[in-house]
Amino acid sequence: MSTTKRLWRWRSNPLRRREDVVEAWVVLAVWVIVVVAGALAALVTVHSAEHQFAVQRAHRHAVRAVLLADAPHGLAADPPADGRIRGSVRWTAPDGTPRSGQALVDGGLKTGDSVTVWQDDRGRLMLSPPTGRTEGHVEAALFGAAATLVVAAPVFGAGAFARARLDRRRMTHWDQEWDAVGPQWGPKTG
């Protein structure tokens, strides 16, 4: 398809209406906004997510803890998908003070068993390990794609609304012109 055909709305044409030119500019503006704003939103989101995951990896540390009570299988009313349950544990914080709290542990463990828990730099328990590098890249990319869709959806919606309004105006003008020209063609047939 030639460039002239693709840009037909901008070229001189006796059948071209003002609405056709406006529609061409609307379509162009929608695509430019989607591409530029979508790419910018994706880049900012990916960078932010990557940074957040790197902060998690830098400030969450695995420590050994001791289970304070038995963790039997299947007693949780709403067990997590990975099969772990909440259990009381005791561990040593980075400053050397002993701490205790609730952590997710594997079911079936007995009192005194050693478990791995995750804590932050202040010694607070974290329920999950930090997001790994590969998983972080995948999640950041998905967040970037979602950000692009969040930007693109309303822009496409606004473009579709504007085009629908332009179509309505075209139809109104065509109806008016038909009403003026139609009677000149003779009587209507049955």
- Give the mean pLDDT of 57-77: 79
What are the φ and ψ backbone dihedral angles of 9, each rounded to 5 degrees? -75, -20
pLDDT of 158-182, one tens digit each? 999 999 999 999 999 888 888 888 7
Say which residues have a Cβ less than 8 Å from residue 121's Cβ, sequence separation at least 6: 59, 61, 94
Residue 123 placed within a domain:
yes
How far is 187 from 156, CA to CA, in rounded Å? 45
* Domain shared by 98 and 54, yes or no: no
**Cα-trace Rg, the chain:** 32
* Domain shared by 112 and 140, yes or no: no
* Domain shared by 92 and 77, yes or no: yes
* Domain shared by 68 and 50, yes or no: no
Range of the domain at 105: 61-128
Evaluate if residue 2 carries a pLDDT over 80. Answer: no
Structurally, the chain folds into a number of domains equal to 2
What are the φ and ψ backbone dihedral angles of 93, each rounded to 5 degrees? -75, 165
* Domain shared by 96 and 114, yes or no: yes
Per the prediction, the chain carries an average pLDDT of 85
How far is 91 from 80, CA to CA, in rounded Å? 23
How far is 96 from 58, CA to CA, in rounded Å? 19
* Structure tokens that stand for 168 in this block: 């309505």
Cβ pair 116, 132 in contact under 8 A: no
* Domain shared by 50 and 135, yes or no: yes
